[in-house]
Amino acid sequence: MAAIVVVGSVASDEPVRLAERLREGAHLNGRGGVARLGGGGANTAVALAAAGHRVSLVTAVGDDADGTRQLHWLTEAGVDVGAVVRMPGPSTRSILLLDPGGERTIVNLGRVKEPEPPRRLLDLAADLVYVRTRAVGLAALLVEKAAVSLIVAHVPPLERGVFPAHVIVCSASDLDDGFLADPVAGARLAAGALLRWVVVTHGPAGAEAFSVDGARFTVPAPAAEALDSTGAGDAFAAGLCHGLASGVAMPEAVAQAVRWGAEKVRRDGSALPADAVRALIR
């Protein structure tokens, strides 16, 4: 299997199951749950480790009990935490509001931020680097890393040159009509000359992929009864990275990603469980 580095967040997710749909101004009833590992970087890393890859996570946690627990959860899941730094102060926590249809609303209670870009990324062997962060300042590191690794990055943020990458992944719900009218041009703003492919997810409608050479295809999603949509995009990204790191062509990698994302919404938790990953790659 491949060596994969994930750059992204880790959090303690605290789920609240709502008895009815979330409505502005409403007084709702809910049921609290047990805190669990979350964050876009952690969710993706955990699924990739379950697929058998050697996964390192580049992120930061606080120096509190939550940070210690997050490191324990990651290690238990088989993720290398040697590149995780501890920062003074509290770790990232998120409240997850889950409606009866499985749709989630995330409330972030602060975020751990490193003061400088993580130059330790350059010291990590990687066949593939996946970037899932809203932090800027990574461009120079990614350009250097792209000489030896495939770079896959999620947008937003969508700023000029923010994520030099070979593959850009994004959700249609995060993008405006201008981007969706020409995804290659929109993604090139962030990725620059390295760009080869743009993959746009459409939730239960599946995903589309666009190459800089003009190729385009759509992969529909299988029907899935939603239990918890938290981390579905992270599961999609993990499936895509698994496919690309395993050497399959983009159409098969996107098809795998769609299956992983659909399977996640059927499952409770923030990350795709290991048993589900093993079944998907069997």
Q: Which domain holds residue 160?
A: 3-281
State the CATH number of the domain containing residue 46: 3.40.1190.20
DSSP letters, 78-106, are T-B-TTEEEESSPPPEEEEEE-TTS-EEE
Handedness of CA 22, 26, 32, 37 (dihedral sign): positive
Alpha-carbon distance of 138 to 148, in angstroms, equals: 16
Mean pLDDT of all residues in the chain? 95
At residue 202 the predicted structure's pLDDT band, cuts being 50, 70 and 90, is very high
DSSP letters, 216-272, are EEEEPPPP---S--TTHHHHHHHHHHHHHHTT--HHHHHHHHHHHHHHHHTSSSSS-
Q: Which residues pair with 18 in a beta bridge?
A: 30
- pLDDT for 131 equals 98
Q: pTM for the whole thing? A: 0.96
3 state DSSP class of 204: helix
Domain count along the chain: 1
The pLDDT tens digits of the residues spanning 14-46 come to: 999 998 888 888 898 999 889 999 999 999 999
The pLDDT tens digits of the residues spanning 139-194 come to: 999 999 999 999 999 999 889 999 999 999 999 999 999 999 999 999 999 999 99
